[in-house]
Amino acid sequence: MEKKVKFFQSIRLKIILIYILLLLIAIQVIGAYFANNLETKLRENFIESINDRVELLTYQLQQTFTKTRTEEDRSLQHDIQSVLADYDIDDITELQVIDAQGRIIGTTNQFNKEVVGKLTNRPEIERMLIFGTEYKPAIVYNPRIGHRTLVKMVPIFVNQKKEVVGAIYLEASIEGVYDQLEEISSIFLNGTLLAISISALLGILVARTITKPISAMRKQAHVMAGGDFSKKVDVYGMDEIGQLAMSFNHLNDKLKQSYATTEGERRKLTSVLSNMNDGVIATDHNGSIILMNDPAKKIIGKTFEQIKGKSLLELLGITDQIETIEDVPQTGSIIIDYSDEEQHLLVKASFSVIQDENEMMNGFITVLSDVTEEEKIERERREFVANVSHELRTPLTSMRSYLEALADGETWKDPEIAPKFLAVTQTETERMIRLVNDLLQLSKMDNKDYYLHKEKVDFTKFFHHVIDRFEMNKYEHLQFKRDLLAQTLWVWIDKDKIIQVLDNVISNAVKYSPEGGVIKLGTKVKNKMLLITVSDQGVGIPIDQIDKIFNRFYRVDKARSRKLGGTGLGLAIAKEMIEAHNGEIWAESEEGKGTTIFLTLPLMHKKRGDVS
């Protein structure tokens, strides 16, 4: 029974059935087309044959009706009966001739002679005799006896006026045509059965040819599933089945290679996990740890042997945030704070579910990422926004207060107070414009939306020109002391940008220098770099704040800086511009003794023939 079920489910039976069905459909279509056209043709031939006979009969009857008779001649009825005697054949079952008065004057039906001399009872004949109406031949089916008869009625005309002198009524059996069709159909059916039998045999042979190599491949697939890749499938030809067998053998070779390299790939995966920057911890469906890489060990501070089999939630210390392991898929990721007195450490734990082949949860993968720096940047961004808001609110508040005072009452008419209020408003407006311009410049630098128009510049001459501009402002309480190298120092710089840097640095030195202070400006060559120094004798900067003065909006003395009109962005802009020239900027300071700003720029390489 099992073999029969397999056979009825096999592709061999399907191929045989397809062969037989295709042939059967083709034969049926051809047979239907052939039988339909043959029936039409035979019926047309039969009707044409009857028409020819009726046409000849009509001519003979016209002659008989128009014949002049004497007393010695036979009667019209006798003459017509003599004409009809020639048409007493098997096909024509009944042939009647009716005169102009509707009286039957002749018939070929030997069993119905009594109708001769009687009036016809057919209304069609009566209309034909009166109006000369002609009717097309019609096939009448008698369901009682299952017989088909061709009925034809033709008027008999004489002379040119087409005077109706009589009519012909004819019945002819057309069963002979359908008998021929049945005989031909029987022959066609026998041929169809023979063709189907032969096609079934051929289908079995063809199906066997196709299914034999497929069965062999099926058996080989079971062998391969057991891990044996030593056998090959036989190739019987170069058709599609043969090419499939060759592809199957090629697949066998590839699987053999893949199976051999699986262990190597596993070792590679272990190596990748070990060399990842992020920590990875794998657990089973219960949340017990089954795998951990080296970066995770560094973050957690424990070895895999110490935590193997333990709960992931307890290890990460997040039981207060995630109650059970089933809640992990909905968590996505969380930030865990591992900070202590010695270091600040924030770790982002991202959870993903491992599914088996049935898409059921089989465990979790937890990726641990150190996001301390990212959180620091985010905090600085928030502080930056807060600083910008504060820096803009302060002058706006001051301006609003003075403008409200001017608008309220008669203050704006006071020649002493009004100019002072307007001067303060103008000062605060200029301060906001400087702040916005500095912010726009920093934004362009952050987005790399600027271009350096560099050129070859003698920095010694260039620096002297910058210092001369400051001395022209006549800072009577200050003294500029130059300690610049006398030699030509060629640098490749954007002059406008470097002027802005030097202006910021020297302006800060001027602002924070005391009465009678000395600002020292110098240049040196160190390790193929040009070193520029700007020193003042101001209040200095606390040692724990020196590295922060290049941050945006950072001020050591906030009250004094605002009073002097600073935006807190000058040194930040200077740092961005110097780094864009591949240089560095830093500061050294001692409280109560002053501050020194150091800047470096790359010197251009000297070529042979250059004169310093």
pLDDT at 254: 80
The domain 376-445 is placed in CATH, from the list 1.10.287.130, 3.10.290.10, 3.40.50.2000, 3.30.365.10, at 1.10.287.130
pLDDT at 577: 82
- Residue 409: pLDDT over 50: yes
- 276-370 sits in which CATH class? alpha beta
Give the pLDDT mean for 478-488. Answer: 88
Q: How far apart are the first and last CA of the chain?
A: 107
pLDDT, mean over the chain: 77
- Span(s) in the chain for CATH 1.10.287.130: 376-445
Between the alpha carbon of residue 49 and those of residues 42, 91, 518, the distances in Å are 10, 10, 140
**Degrees (nearest 5) of the Cα angle 96, 97, 103?**
105
Confidence of residue 609 (pLDDT cuts 50, 70, 90): very low
Give the pLDDT mean for 297-305. Answer: 79
Q: H-type helices in 151-229, by residue range?
A: 175-225
Confidence of residue 561 (pLDDT cuts 50, 70, 90): very low
The domain 12-181 is placed in CATH, from the list 3.30.70.20, 3.40.718.10, 3.30.450.20, 1.10.443.10, at 3.30.450.20
Confidence of residue 530 (pLDDT cuts 50, 70, 90): very high
- pLDDT tens-digit readout, 129-169: 888 777 888 888 888 877 888 888 888 888 767 788 888 88
DSSP line for 221-276: HHHHHTT-----PPP--SSHHHHHHHHHHHHHHHHHHHHHHHHHHHHHHHHHHHH-
- pLDDT tens-digit readout, 244-288: 778 878 888 887 777 777 767 777 777 776 677 778 888 887 878
Which residues are CB-contacts of 19 (< 8 A; sequence separation ≥ 6)? 199, 200, 202, 203, 206
Residues 414, 310: Cα–Cα separation, whole Å: 82
**More reliable by pLDDT, 587 or 207:** 587
Give the pLDDT mean for 442-455. Answer: 68
Which CATH superfamily, name and number, covers 451-602?
Answer: Histidine kinase-like ATPase, C-terminal domain (3.30.565.10)
Confidence of residue 611 (pLDDT cuts 50, 70, 90): very low
Residues 111, 124: Cα–Cα separation, whole Å: 23
Q: Which of 249-263, 359-373, 402-416 has the lowest mean pLDDT?
A: 402-416
- Span(s) in the chain for CATH 3.30.565.10: 451-602
- pLDDT tens-digit readout, 419-433: 777 776 776 676 667
What is the pTM for the complete model shown? 0.39
Confidence of residue 3 (pLDDT cuts 50, 70, 90): very low
Which amino acid appears at position 531 of this protein? Answer: L
- Span(s) in the chain for CATH 3.30.450.20: 12-181, 276-370
pLDDT at 385: 63
Which residues are CB-contacts of 337 (< 8 A; sequence separation ≥ 6)? 345, 346, 347
- pLDDT tens-digit readout, 180-213: 888 888 888 888 888 888 877 877 777 777 777 7
